[in-house]
Each structure stands twice: as C-alpha cells, then as structure tokens.
Amino acid sequence: MNGVARADAGEGAGAAGAPPVEITFHGAANTVTGSCVHLRLPGGTLIVDCGMFQGPKALQALNYAALPVDPSTLDAAILTHAHIDHAGMFPKLVRDGFHRRAWATPATCDLLEWILTDAGAIHESEAERLERRNRKRGAGEEVRPLYTIADAERSLKRLAPVERDRWFEPVPGTRARLRHAGHILGAAWVEMEIGGRPGERPLRLALSGDIGPRDKTLSHDPAPLDPVDVLVLESTYGDRDRPAIDEAGRRAALAAEVRDAMAAGGNLIIPSFAVERSQELIHDLLVLSRRGEIPPVRIFLDSPLAHRATDVFRRHARELEIEGDGKTAFDGPNLHIVETVEQSKAIGRVQSGAIVIAGSGMCDAGRVKHHLKDNLWRAQATVLFVGYQAPGTLGQLIRSGAERVRIHGEEVAVRARIRSLDVFSGHADRGDLVAWAGPAARGARAVFLVHGEPAALTSLGAGLAEAGADPARLRIPELDDRFALRGAPDQLEVVQLPAARRRADPELKRALASGRDWHNDYAAAMLDMRRALLAAPDDAARHRMLERLRAALANGVAG
C-alpha cells in the first residue's frame, strides 16, 4: 500500500484505560460520499457532516437503513458545507431524534434551506413513482420516502449559523472554528481544540471537509492549515494532478468546447451540480458571450434548485471572486431560467444551437436525464462533463465509453460527442492537497485519509509520505472503523477499537472496491443480451440462446 496503513479491526482492541476521545468513520470511508465522522469527546458527542451515500445501489441502501449512531444521544453537529454527500441526511437525523444545534456558516445555512427541501421533494416523488410501479407489478408494499419536505423544513430549525474564523463551543471543553475551504460558497474545514488542563495544551484536531483547489472559480483559496495532532483529510482527487490553469485558460478551454459543440450542429448538454458548478458555468459563459468569444446562443439553466442557489450567491457576493456585482455576474439577455416541467419539456423540441445546464451533476436524477434521452442518440449533440462522476453512476457509464445506457427503463444509444473538461473542479488535486496538508501531516500523530476511492487514498498517502509524513501514522479507515486517541497530545497513542456496528456486507464491500454492484451488472447484462440477440442470424438462433440462458439461470437457482 505504498506505506499507507489500512485499518485492521483487531488492532489494539485490548489497550487499557478509557479513551478521552474516540473517532468513528460512519461514511466516506473507501468511497467519496456519505461523509460522517462521529466524535466522542470528554464534554459530549457530536458528528461532523451527515452526508448521503451516492453511487451503486448497494451503497445507496445505507441511506435507508437505521443511522449508525442514535441521533438523540448527540450533543451537537457541524456541517462543513451544503453538498448532499456532506449534509443530505441531516433531515433524517433530525426526524429520528437529533434535537441540538448544527453549526455551519451563514452561506451554508442559506443554501441548505433550498437544497434539503428540494431533496425532500425528490424523495417524495421517487417514493410515489416506485409505489405506482409496484402496484402495476402486483406488489402492493408501501414505499416510504427517505425523508419528506416537512422533515427537511423541520431540520432547518436546528441550524446554527456561525461566521468563519469565530471560535464557538459545540460541547463543553471543546472549542471549534470554521475556516475557509475554497470548495463551494460557505464551505469550511473544521479546526478543534479539545480539553487541556491549565498549563497543558489541548488536543488539536482538523477535519478537512472538502478542500478546493488554488485559484478556483468564484472562490478564495483555502485558509492555511496550522500544526495539528490529528488530521482527517479528504482524498477525492488524491491520485490526480491537473495541469496548472488560470482564469483566462479556463475560459478559453470552455469557449473552445462551446464553439466545437455548436459547429457539430446539435445542442450542448452540461450535467452540473446545482450549487457552485452551475454558477461558475453561468458566470463564465456570460463573460464569454459578452466578449464575443462564443456564439450568441441560448443558455438554459434547467434546475429550479440552481436558480434558487444562484439567488443565495447574489446575497453572499462579497464572499466571491467575481467580475462585476452579484447581479451582473449571474444575469444576461441570453440566459433563460427554466422553472416548470412544461418549460423543461419544451427544451426537448430544440434540436440544435442551445446550451442546457441541468442537474444532477452525475446524471443519476433530475431533469438532465430527460435531456440525455433527447440528445444522447443524436450524433450532432455534445455532452460535456465538468465534474466528478462517481463509480456506478449514469454519468460515469457514459463518460467511460458505454455504447448504450438505460434511462428511465429505456435503452438509449450513445452517439453524441462525449467530452470532459476538468477545469471547474471544486476539489484540490494531489499536488494541492499535499501542499495544503503536507506540513501539518509531518507533525501529526495520526492522519486519516477519507472521501476517496481506493486508488486515490493510496496515492495521496504516498504523496504525503514523500512530503515527510510518517507512513506509520497514515491510516485509511474502513466503514464504521473506530479509533481511540489516548494520552497527552505530544505522546498521543492511536488505538483501533472494535466497531460498535459494522454495516459492510459482501455486496457492499464489492461495490466499494469496484464501484459497481449487481444492479450495474444487471443493466450491462441486459444491454449485452439485447445486442447478442439482434446480432443472431435468425429467430431460431435467438430462441436457442434464450433457452440456454433460461437453463443457466435455472441451474444457478438450483445451485
């Protein structure tokens, strides 16, 4: 593992003495979603982030299971930013018994007002659709949404806005502050000082949340990381170094993609996250349009959530690095905001000359799936990916070269031009992460690498080791791994404890390792079967193929 220690569930379980601090990783462990770190501190317990799992259905199933910690026992929560994979399960946490404060920056609180209620609406709609489908199939089970709009609205009352860099006390004996993360509007990394009697220094802990790259669109650079004893570090792009690019280079690359897409004769479909990515794209496209560097094409923002998030960006414009004021940065005569379903469907009748920005960013939900159905099969159309595509998502399948995909139960050929532009990323790459965390990692007693796929975790660990971090102190926790932090900060001992609850069954482990589960394999098998049947010379050959398949299935069941 290039010197990076993977957690061993039996390590140190017999160490004596009650630990003053425990840290458990209930999400984003060997995967990039579901962020949730549970801290048991001398003065109480809290979680940092309460994120939703995304990707393969085996991973998404964790969202519907009981939460791994009793919400009513928590004394506080801290939310690093408004992305669903960091805050998307907060309404369920509140519904199931959390009744204390959840600290976050004011901008994060404002964004969550729209993001969580939008998520509740999506969960209600999906539950209704699945229940209708089950009734048609003769299965009458009730389908409950993960949470409702009302659950989301109630959870907003638990949010406690706190300005960046201001110390607060989430539980007695622990103080914390939120530092600029440079990821999205309002995003923060968490700095904590735990305990410490008079004359003794406290234990210093930092949790990165998501760290943005240097010179990011709209955002200031992350605040520097001071020396810490324990660091929890995201690793999303831990195995990737991007070419250095400035604002002019980023806009030039986007302009080239737009011109090529329009020259191809079709529409340009851009799957985009509603928060930050959509605003970055709008801002750059409007600047390019005003300068005449792209044709005067219609730009459709087909995401009510992105529209509302843009209003939040306008209100917090002082936090952004933008040209002009908060209004002119996100408004232009060729920008069309799409609100209603009818307006969204009308875009489907536009066959060329339009840019459509729609969610979700990984193509697994939302209106972009309809635009993909309308355009993927057209050779003149272009699909431009501008963000991370998690394993097992529709976006990842398209981006990886799938010739056919299934959308809303229908098979769709992929004939469109598939393009990727990795200049809008909200995540620091390997070099940025090592530059930001390397000095602190050299002196830390423990560095936990989270929020990354296995290759990214291992590669970032190697990069930190090359920068001087002790490989023996670098750890890659598994889901629900629990650790005790014992002793004085300068002699801190990190001991792994038995997990209080372990959720990783074999199918989930397979999904985490490969980014695929049986649902992905089933979809691929159905497409392969259809291709093989169509390629058969005649109906008799197709009949024989199906008989052999039925026999193999029968033998599999019998076995």
Host H or E run for residue 450: strand 446-450
Last residue of a domain, one of 513, 531, 546: 513
> Which pLDDT band, with edges at 50, 70 and 90, does 18 fall under?
very low
Considering the domain architecture, whether residues 187 and 327 belong to the same structural domain is answered as no
> Which pLDDT band, with edges at 50, 70 and 90, does 139 fall under?
low
Q: What per-residue confidence (pLDDT) applies to 382?
A: 98
| Beta-carbon count within 10 A of 26 CB | 25
Give the rounded distance of the alpha carbon of 433 from its chain centre: 17
**3-class DSSP state for residue 39?**
strand
Q: What per-residue confidence (pLDDT) applies to 543?
A: 85
Task: Report the C-alpha gap between 140 and 304 in whole angstroms.
Answer: 33
pLDDT above 60 (res 9): no
The overall longest dimension of the chain from CA atoms, in Å, is 87
In a domain, 33, yes or no: yes
pLDDT above 70 (res 510): no
> Residue 122 phi/psi, 5° resolution?
-65, -45
Q: What per-residue confidence (pLDDT) applies to 13?
A: 37
Considering the domain architecture, whether residues 399 and 487 belong to the same structural domain is answered as no
Select from 225, 325, 228, 310 the least CA-distant residue to 275. 310
> Which pLDDT band, with edges at 50, 70 and 90, does 7 fall under?
very low
Task: Find tokens 């030039």 and name the residue.
Answer: 252
Q: What per-residue confidence (pLDDT) applies to 548?
A: 87
Task: Report the C-alpha gap between 275 and 270 in whole angstroms.
Answer: 14
Task: Report the C-alpha gap between 176 and 281 in whole angstroms.
Answer: 34
Q: Which of 124-128, 191-195, 540-544, 549-553 ranks highest by mean pLDDT?
A: 191-195
Considering the domain architecture, whether residues 272 and 173 belong to the same structural domain is answered as no
CA dihedral 257, 259, 265, 270 (to 10 degrees): 40
Structure letter (DSSP) for residue 330: G
Average pLDDT of span 66-80: 96
Q: What per-residue confidence (pLDDT) applies to 327?
A: 65
**3-class DSSP state for residue 190?**
strand
- Residue 539: give the domain boundaries: 521-558
Token pair, residue 538, equals 């005649």
pLDDT in tens, 167-183: 999 999 999 999 999 99
| More confident of the two residues 184 and 387 | 184
Whole-structure pTM value: 0.84
> Which pLDDT band, with edges at 50, 70 and 90, does 545 fall under?
confident
Token pair, residue 92, equals 């369920």
Q: What per-residue confidence (pLDDT) applies to 58?
A: 82
In a domain, 141, yes or no: yes
Percentage with pLDDT > 90 across the chain = 65
In a domain, 11, yes or no: no
In a domain, 502, yes or no: yes
pLDDT in tens, 428-465: 999 999 999 999 999 999 999 999 999 999 999 999 99
In a domain, 462, yes or no: yes
Considering the domain architecture, whether residues 485 and 534 belong to the same structural domain is answered as no
Considering the domain architecture, whether residues 412 and 365 belong to the same structural domain is answered as yes
Q: Which of 132-146, 198-212, 532-546 ranks highest by mean pLDDT?
A: 198-212
Percentage with pLDDT > 70 across the chain = 92
Average pLDDT of span 468-485: 96
Task: Find tokens 């992105």 and name the residue.
Answer: 306
Give the rounded distance of the alpha carbon of 262 from its chain centre: 30
Q: What per-residue confidence (pLDDT) applies to 2?
A: 45
The amino acid present at 83, given as its one-letter code, is: H
Q: Are 512 and 61 in contact (CB under 8 A)?
A: no
- Tell me the average pLDDT of the chain: 89
pLDDT above 50 (res 421): yes
**Number of separate domains in the chain:** 3
Average pLDDT of span 255-281: 95
Select from 411, 416, 378 the least CA-distant residue to 399. 416
| Beta-carbon count within 10 A of 197 CB | 7
Q: Are 367 and 357 in contact (CB under 8 A)?
A: no
Task: Report the C-alpha gap between 178 and 150 in whole angstroms.
Answer: 29
In a domain, 473, yes or no: yes
Host H or E run for residue 483: strand 482-486
Task: Report the C-alpha gap between 74 and 72 in whole angstroms.
Answer: 6
pLDDT in tens, 289-331: 999 999 989 999 999 899 999 999 999 988 888 766 666 788 8
In a domain, 545, yes or no: yes
**67: CB partners within 8 A, 6+ apart:** 89, 92, 93, 96
E runs forming strands in 308-397:
335-337, 354-358, 382-385
> For the domain that residue 495 is a member of, what is the CATH number?
3.60.15.10
Considering the domain architecture, whether residues 448 and 554 belong to the same structural domain is answered as no
In a domain, 4, yes or no: no
Considering the domain architecture, whether residues 25 and 170 belong to the same structural domain is answered as yes
pLDDT above 50 (res 11): no
Last residue of a domain, one of 390, 420, 450: 420
Considering the domain architecture, whether residues 378 and 497 belong to the same structural domain is answered as no
> For the domain that residue 261 is a member of, what is the CATH number?
3.40.50.10890
> Which pLDDT band, with edges at 50, 70 and 90, does 553 fall under?
confident
Q: Which of 180-194, 269-283, 391-405 ranks highest by mean pLDDT?
A: 180-194
Q: What per-residue confidence (pLDDT) applies to 507?
A: 67
> Which pLDDT band, with edges at 50, 70 and 90, does 70 fall under?
very high
Q: What per-residue confidence (pLDDT) applies to 408?
A: 84
Considering the domain architecture, whether residues 387 and 502 belong to the same structural domain is answered as no
What is the β-pairing status of strands 268-271 and 335-337?
A: unpaired
Q: What is the DSSP string of 180-243?
A: E-SSSTT-EEEEEEE---TTSPPEEEEE-S-PPPTT-TB-PPPPPPPP-SEEEEE-TBTT--PP
Considering the domain architecture, whether residues 490 and 525 belong to the same structural domain is answered as no
Q: What per-residue confidence (pLDDT) applies to 211?
A: 97
Considering the domain architecture, whether residues 312 and 354 belong to the same structural domain is answered as yes
Q: Are 272 and 278 in contact (CB under 8 A)?
A: yes
Helix ranges (H only) for 352-453 are 368-375, 394-399, 430-443
Last residue of a domain, one of 359, 388, 420: 420
Select from 144, 382, 401 the least CA-distant residue to 267. 382
Cα–Cα distances (Å) from 91 to 86, 126, 139, 189, 480, in that order, read 12, 17, 29, 22, 21
Considering the domain architecture, whether residues 448 and 313 belong to the same structural domain is answered as no
**154: CB partners within 8 A, 6+ apart:** 91, 94, 95
